[in-house]
A and B are shown apart, each in its own frame.
Chain A
Amino acid sequence: MNSNKILRRSGIVAAVAAVSALALAGCSGGATPAASTKPTLSGKPTTITMTFWGGDARVQSTQKAIDAFEKKYPNITVKPQFTDWTGYWDQLATATAGGDMPDVVQMDELYLASYGNRGALYDLNNVKIDTSGMAAAARDTGKVNGTQYADPIGVAVYAIVANKDLFDKYGVAMPDDKTWTWDDYAKIADELTQKSGGAIHGTDQIGGFDAGSVKYWARSDGGEVFDAKGKAVLNPKSLAKMWQYELDVQKSGGMLSSSAITESFSAGISGNDIATNKVALGVAYNTQLTALAKSSGQNLVLLQPPAPKNVHPNSYKPSMYWSISAKSKHPAEAAALVDYLLNSEDAAKIILTERGVPANDKTRALIKDALAPTDQAAIAYQESVTPGKAPAVTPNGASTIETILQRYTQQVLAGQQKPLDAAKAFIAELQGEIDAAQ
């Protein structure tokens, strides 16, 4: 056959392949099938896939929990997949695009609306999962536009972490966290730096790197970041106030330099400056206390962040959720696994607080005594905090809020932009992303 003819034909094949690839890309979307009755367990040998992110500690505990589940349901085999946080979202997006989304999916608040609103997740009110042990406020964190796209595994609360050993070492009094203000915080931070002769700094960054800090400062002023309709309603003045505060404390000596802050944040929980005892104060979620304390080796305690009188800016942040794929072929079995992981005593005793302090009040009470002192302190802290009204879930299109925020924070801290201008630009960009995603 003439080689040119073959080549021409192959060109047609390539074009067909390209078009089919594009067309097949469309096969991944689709809404949850409207179910009049909930799917039931078939009892036949079934295999379901589950995916989650996490380090080796989580891999081991999850495998143990899966083994226990399989003992209870001998006809169901669970095949777990896992990778690190960043790789997880790349893998999940690609797999979903190709129609291969795993049955059970660990989900995060940043991406919940993105996946939910685009029809990739199952409506959990249509499957049998027992959520009676969970407070409604907690369960609602998994609702987007009225549909329950995910059930929360654990909740976390915003906190200040203080290194008591360093406070004692340099003779600074521990503050009264029920009444203190951000000005008090700044004074203490300056004092720590001074009294240590510069050996440590008073505090690490207190905001601008994770969305929770912005939420806290917005709510301290009585506002919110997003409204229920998914619009960015953040008041630029609140954000600017937060940045200006950091610039001021840096100037007075209480806070690390911009470079140090950036490096501290990118080092993660086990490497940041709280964990390496270079500062005596910083922000974190209560559930991160154990990891921080382990790396630090010193006595770390949780304090309530400063708040205006009679205002409750804090809120329950879901650490992570379980979701089910909208196109799962075995929704009943997937639901059984989720139900087991959220409710069973055995699973609770295996997982403990590895995925956060359990949102399920019953299991939380069950495991309390088996926990390490730092985990118990985290729970105690959570129970001492009065949360305000539940904030809206990060809307579709705003999944990159933290990357955008960090960029503006770095520009402000480096003196490249004034806080108020940056805040306005940040909100505009955020809204632009949300609009583009519709």
Chain B
Amino acid sequence: MSALGELRQLKDSKAAKGDGKAAFWFLLPWFLGLFTVTAGPMLASLGLSFTKYNLLQPPSFIGFQNFVRMFSDERLLHSLGVTFTYVLVSVPLQLGLALALAVLLDRGVRGLSFYRSVYYLPSLIGGSVAIAVLWRTVFGVNGLFNQFLAIFGIHGQGWISSPDTAIGTLILLNVWTFGAPMVIFLAGLRQIPVSLYEAASVDGASKGRQFISITLPMLSPIIFFNLVLQLIHSFQSFTQAFVVSGGTGGPADSTLLFSLYLYQRGFRAFDMGYASALAWLLVVIIGAFTALNFWASKYWVFYDD
């Protein structure tokens, strides 16, 4: 049954109220966290989006001005374009690669844990200071990649410093760190009972058929999870763009991901009111995509409970 269908049933049935007490206790730490540490600041930031706030002086109420300003903000529009490109290209690539490798590694390879660690390693340094230097060394004008291309006589440009291709290097960086969803896929694959594959082989199903009929459906909750969360994370992507572009979103704003623009307005330009408004715009965008995901999930996600 689909996630949505179930939830709908839950809402209607009388038994829905049954576990209220137990739920309260299980959710208590989360409620505590929500109302003290999370909701307070979140609501405050929502409030701040209706103000002009420079961090150093008290906020002053300006109504909807911040939101009106968004419509004529050219850099915002540009940033949205960059962000959408980044998300819609890198997420499918990243997940596809993660799934492919997880399946490959799950099927009995000698040295599995070694390969798994190796493919995961890039995720570990993805957000570090060293990455900026590394990426420049690989994709710079005199970098490794161009030296590699030179072997074939191709004269490469400065990939990381040219406005047309800089975002490509960031997408590559996001895809390069596919280790995290890969590990989650591996854990998910582990949970698929071997007996199902056994039974299918006995019935004469090919490996490919098994993949489509057993692996994908059984893994679909995990695929769904990875999709929802990688989308959310990619929309919020900050550190890599920050480190690689030196906080500027350059060259020429070509790597100005939404979070980076938000950060620049809030912390560099002392324009925290507007930054808060931008943050909630992001919430709306991400929320829309997530809702879309949930709605679509009823067509392809298979839950066993």
Whether chain A touches chain B in the assembled complex (some CB pair under 8 Å): yes
Q: Which residues of A contact B (CB under 8 A)?
A: 3, 6-7, 10-11, 13-15, 17-19, 21-22, 25-29, 86, 89-90, 93-94, 96-97, 114-115, 118-120, 257-263, 266-267, 271, 397, 399-400, 403, 406-407, 410-411, 414, 416, 433, 436-437
A257 contact set on B, CB distance < 8 A:
141, 158
Do A89 and B267 form a contact, CB below 8 Å, given A262-B161, A263-B158, A414-B163?
A: yes
B40 with A120: CB separation less than 8 A: no
Interface centre among A6, A14, A90, A94 (most CB of B within 10 A): A14
A436 contact set on B, CB distance < 8 A:
271
Interface size on B, residues (CB 8 A): 51
Residues 56-96 of chain B, each 1 if its beta carbon lies under 8 Å from chain A, else 0? 11110000000000000000000000000000000000000
A25 contact set on B, CB distance < 8 A:
44, 48, 53, 58-59
CB-nearest residue of chain A to B160: A263
| Alpha-carbon distance between A14 and B245 when the two chains are bound, in angstroms | 38
A407 with B269: CB separation less than 8 A: no
B41 with A114: CB separation less than 8 A: no
A263 with B140: CB separation less than 8 A: yes
B44 contact set on A, CB distance < 8 A:
17-19, 21-22, 25
| Alpha-carbon distance between A416 and B268 when the two chains are bound, in angstroms | 26
A266 with B246: CB separation less than 8 A: yes
B54 at the interface (CB under 8 A from A): yes
Interface centre among B41, B57, B249 (most CB of A within 10 A): B57
Do A263 and B56 form a contact, CB below 8 Å, given A3-B24, A416-B163?
A: no
Shortest C-beta distance, B167 to chain A (Å), equals 14
Do A93 and B270 form a contact, CB below 8 Å, given A119-B57, A263-B161, A414-B252?
A: yes
Question: In chain B between 266 and 287, which residues have their CB closer than 8 angstroms to a CB of chain A?
Answer: 267-271
Question: In chain B between 250 and 274, which residues have their CB closer than 8 angstroms to a CB of chain A?
Answer: 250-253, 264, 267-271
B142 contact set on A, CB distance < 8 A:
260
- 7 example contacts (A-B, Cβ-Cβ < 8 A) are as follows A3-B20, A18-B41, A21-B44, A263-B160, A266-B161, A399-B270, A407-B252
CB-nearest residue of chain B to A101: B56
B250 with A407: CB separation less than 8 A: yes
B136 with A15: CB separation less than 8 A: no
Secondary structure dominating the interface of A: helix
B264 with A400: CB separation less than 8 A: yes
Question: In chain B between 136 and 157, which residues have their CB closer than 8 angstroms to a CB of chain A?
Answer: 136, 140-142, 157
A26 with B59: CB separation less than 8 A: yes
| Alpha-carbon distance between A15 and B47 when the two chains are bound, in angstroms | 11
Shortest C-beta distance, B300 to chain A (Å), equals 34
Shortest C-beta distance, B87 to chain A (Å), equals 22
B133 contact set on A, CB distance < 8 A:
271
Of the residues A119, A271, A411, A416, contact of B56 by C-beta under 8 Å: A119
B21 at the interface (CB under 8 A from A): yes
Do A414 and B162 form a contact, CB below 8 Å, given A18-B44, A263-B140?
A: yes
Do A263 and B270 form a contact, CB below 8 Å, given A3-B20, A411-B252?
A: no
Of the residues B20, B141, B163, B270, contact of A114 by C-beta under 8 Å: B270
B46 contact set on A, CB distance < 8 A:
18
B252 with A115: CB separation less than 8 A: no
A96 contact set on B, CB distance < 8 A:
55-56
B34 contact set on A, CB distance < 8 A:
10, 14
B39 at the interface (CB under 8 A from A): yes
Of the residues B36, B132, B140, B163, contact of A17 by C-beta under 8 Å: B36
A118 with B161: CB separation less than 8 A: no
Do A21 and B251 form a contact, CB below 8 Å, given A96-B56, A259-B141?
A: no
Question: In chain B between 119 and 137, which residues have their CB closer than 8 angstroms to a CB of chain A?
Answer: 132-133, 136
B168 at the interface (CB under 8 A from A): no
B303 contact set on A, CB distance < 8 A:
none
Given contacts A25-B58, A411-B163, A416-B163, 10 further A-B contacts (CB under 8 A): A22-B59, A25-B53, A97-B55, A262-B158, A263-B140, A267-B136, A399-B270, A400-B264, A407-B252, A411-B252
Do A18 and B248 form a contact, CB below 8 Å, given A25-B58, A263-B140?
A: no
B270 with A403: CB separation less than 8 A: no
Question: What are the nearest 8 A-B pairs in CB distance?
Answer: A259-B158, A26-B58, A17-B40, A18-B43, A29-B57, A262-B161, A259-B161, A410-B252
